[in-house]
Amino acid sequence: MTLKLTSGFAALTAALLATAASAETELTVYTAVEAEDLTRYAAKFNEVHPDITINWVRDSTGVITAKLLAERDNPQADVVWGLAATSLLLLKSEGMLEPYAPEGVDKLSPNFVDKDNPPAWVGMDAWVAAVCFNTIEGDKLGLTAPTSWKDLTDPQYENHIIMPNPNSSGTGFLDVSSWLQMFGEEEGWAYMDALHNNIARYTHSGSAPCKLAASGEIPIGISFAFRGAKSKADGAPIDIIVPSEGVGWDMEATAIVAGTDSLEAAQKLVDFTVTEDAMRMYNVGYAVVAIPGIAQPVEHFPEGLTDAMIDNDFEFAANNRARILEEWQSRYDGKSDPQ
């Protein structure tokens, strides 16, 4: 009798463990979202889906994009949550994304949704280029604050500017892409030649130039507005400058990686990423989100930023990405930080 009870208990225990295991799903999620935000994002998602665990793989946009392309024949990610739309357009062209229309996609602004039906990707928010200028360091060096992109080619700024390498940073790429769109191909590269003379170094992170300007290591960092606003909120003596010619931008977006073994859980995550709760979560750092009417003003964001956003040609950026990066590498990589 004891043996039968023991055997029965063991069988019941095994069944319960199997049920618990089947109720929990792990998703490998690739992202370029700022590292400090990942815990908050996962916690918000788990309020709705506590049975799905997110395992983050985080790096700069260029690194994540290259990693996904390298894994094309053996995908390791289930979902991409927070990568530049220009990168996702490239992945889509390679047949690497699983089309899916998440619940609530009709609420999103049309320019935040892939044009195919069902869409290959859906947008979250927009991040926008800006210049971080340390007023204290600028005064020490006798520098006047720039007001335009072309001002940054003035010899007074020699060795006083840091910007991100576009091969590793999405912010760097949106800068380069926007200059080529605003100034034209020939003048755009001529502009970057002149700017290169004043660059102290190129970082592999889009937020690093503003962080370095905020800390006083460099007077000028070409970065993005969210990082500038965050640094200013922390007390950094910086002005966030919106160059007069206009500013480049890209949208963070989400997609399911084709071939995932956890499609149902991946769809649940993408459903969440376009909810109003998710939009409010993005709005903590981003002034533009995918659902109209949700965003509230973000403290320290510069006035006129959204009006300065160029009419960005995402197809141009995606289709010419490899060519642009190769050309940039051949011209300017000598000043890049070691990887």
Fold agreement between 25-126+250-299 and 128-249+308-335: yes
Share of the chain above pLDDT 90, in %: 90
| Helices and strands of the chain, counted as H and E runs | 14, 11
pLDDT (mean) for 142-160 = 98
pTM of the model: 0.85
Distance, in Å, from the CA atom of 76 to the CA atom of 108, rounded to the nearest integer, reads 29
Distance, in Å, from the CA atom of 105 to the CA atom of 90, rounded to the nearest integer, reads 22
Nearest one of 332, 229, 226 to 288, comparing CA atoms: 226
Helices (H), 49-130: 61-70, 85-93
DSSP E strands in 139-198: the ranges are 161-164
Residue 238 CA, distance from chain mean position:
22
Q: Are strands 25-31 and 52-58 parallel, antiparallel or unpaired?
A: parallel
Q: What are 177's two structure tokens?
A: 């892409």
CA distances from 225 to 1, 22, 83, 148 (A): 72, 43, 17, 15
Q: Does domain 25-126+250-299 have CATH number 3.30.460.10?
A: no
Residue 22 CA, distance from chain mean position:
33
What angle is formed at CA 26 by the lines to CA 20 and CA 29, rounded to 5 degrees? 165
| Tokens 């769809």 belong to residue | 267
pLDDT tens figures, 207-247: 999 999 999 999 999 999 999 999 999 999 999 999 999 99
Q: So what's the pLDDT on residue 24? A: 84
Residue 17 CA, distance from chain mean position:
39
- Complete DSSP assignment for 182-196: HH-HHHHHHHHHHHH
Binning pLDDT at 50, 70 and 90, where does residue 22 land? very low
Q: Quick count: other Cβ atoms within 10 Å of Cβ 67?
A: 14
Tell me the residue length of the chain.
339
Contact (Cβ atoms closer than 8 angstroms) between residue 309 and residue 174: no
Q: So what's the pLDDT on residue 5? A: 37
Lowest mean pLDDT: which of 19-28, 69-78, 167-176?
19-28
- Burial-class residue 3 by CB neighbours within 10 Å (0-12, 13-18, 19+): exposed
pLDDT (mean) for 1-29 = 53
Residue 8 has pLDDT above 90, yes or no: no
Under CATH, which number does the domain 128-249+308-335 receive? 3.40.190.10
User: Is 132 in a helix, a strand, or coil?
Assistant: strand
Mean pLDDT of the chain: 93
Residue 307 has pLDDT above 80, yes or no: yes
- List the chain domain ranges: 25-126+250-299, 128-249+308-335
Distance, in Å, from the CA atom of 262 to the CA atom of 78, rounded to the nearest integer, reads 7
Residue 17 has pLDDT above 70, yes or no: no
Binning pLDDT at 50, 70 and 90, where does residue 119 land? very high
Which residues, listed in sequence order, are joined to residue 131 by a DSSP beta bridge? 222, 241
